[in-house]
Structure 1
Amino acid sequence: MGIEQPARYVGSMLATKTINPDDFLETQDGRVWTPERNEEAWRLSYAALEIALECATTPMRVVVVCGIQGAGKSTWIASQPVSSSTIYFDAALPGIRHRAKVIAIAKQLGSAVEAVWINTPLDVAMERNSARTPDKRVPTQAIVAVATQFEEPTTAEGFDHVSIYGGGHDYQ
């Protein structure tokens, strides 16, 4: 039940071009969350981003897709055309301090970095969360905490561009 190593993860990530810390929590029995596993998942996510950018043969664009849990981030990413020059970083990332490391890695390695905020009402996100399988369901208090501390992403924090999609379903 160990956490997958970043180099191996990058190999499977290349097909989808998405890095999601939750993917490092997956086991044969489903997603297993502990504080220690979560910390390691984030470390491995940052490492996977660095590896993907360092191995890129063309200039890359990193798109940080943020919003509360259940907002529709992964669904939005799945609706995007596949591009060999885009990596999506899929995580709640509610505050400037949470997004800073992804921005720093992208900028350090010469990549453009954009933010996409899936701005979904809390009640919609909670309803979506309740429909998830038990191992992927996020505790209600965690969703409320992320919603409470969410700071709108801006270019002032280092993004080259910021897009906002309301409701988590109007992806045009």
Structure 2
Amino acid sequence: MAAPTTINPDDFLETPEGRVWTVERNEEAWRLSYAALERALELAPALMRVVVVCGIQGASKSTWIASQPASPSTIYFDAALPGVRHRAKVISIAQRLGSSVEAVWIDTPLDVAIERNAARSPDKVVPTPAIVAVAQQFEEPTAAEGFDHVAVFDGGR
């Protein structure tokens, strides 16, 4: 079975030695992610669907995406995207290029996400204060942002 098409800024931080994060590399990873989304939508068949999968780090966003069937008409954008302002650019790109855009929020308790994060390989562990900061600023996605549909999934208790 083919994997779903996914754009994740973290993928652009990967090196042969593992994931390397700096402010500059992170900014470039986001620029490349937005460009990859635009390119994918420009080259895609009609009736494309972008699914923005958001939630705190360690919520199991990538795991949820991996459980979805691959579809040539669906692109998953996998990132924390805690606030309306963080999701706006993905929504704007999708709408401008004629795609529907949906939100999937993986709602996971902070303690569960921190525990999952600690089990990651060392180069993929997110500092706990960063997870707490994202959790504190997280705004539930809504249709008012421009989403055609919003779904919430329980990320585990």
TM-score bin, normalised by smaller chain: over 0.9
Structure 1's consecutive aligned runs of 4 or more residues displaced over 6 angstroms after TM superposition are: none
TM-score, scaled to structure 2:
0.97
Secondary structure of 1:76 counterpart: helix
**Alignment-derived partner of residue 27 in structure 1:** 15
| Partner SS state of residue 64, structure 2 | helix
Amino acid paired to 1:128? R
1:95-140 CA deviation, whole Å, 9 max, x = no partner? 0000000000000000000000000000000000000011000000
Q: 1:111-130 maps to which residues of 2 (within 5 A)?
A: 111-130=99-118
- What is the CA deviation profile of residues 19-66 of structure 1, one whole-angstrom value per residue up to 9, with x for unaligned ones? 000000000000000000000000000000000000012321000000
Q: Is contact 1:65-1:115 (8 Å) kept?
A: yes
Q: What amino acid sits opposite 2:49 in the alignment?
A: R
Alpha-carbon deviation of 1:16?
Answer: 3.5
Match status 1:65 vs 2:53 = yes
RMSD (Å) for aligned C-alpha atoms = 1.3
Partner of 1:86: 74
- Report 1 or 2 for greater relative contact order, CA contacts < 8 Å, sequence distance ≥ 6: 2
Percent identity between the two aligned chains:
79
The more displaced of 53-62 and 63-72 is: 53-62
Q: Structure 1: which 5+ runs fail to align?
A: 1-13
Amino acid across the alignment from 1:125: A
| Residue 45 of structure 1 pairs with residue 33 of structure 2 | yes
5+ long unaligned stretches in structure 2: none
SS at match of 1:124: helix
What is the CA–CA distance in structure 2 between the aligned matches of 1:120 and 1:169, rounded to whole Å? 6
Aligned pair count? Answer: 156
TM-score, length of structure 1 as denominator length = 0.88
- 2:3–2:66: 8 Å Cα contact kept in structure 1? no
Shift of 1:169: 4.7
The yes-or-no answer on 1:75 pairing with 2:63 is yes
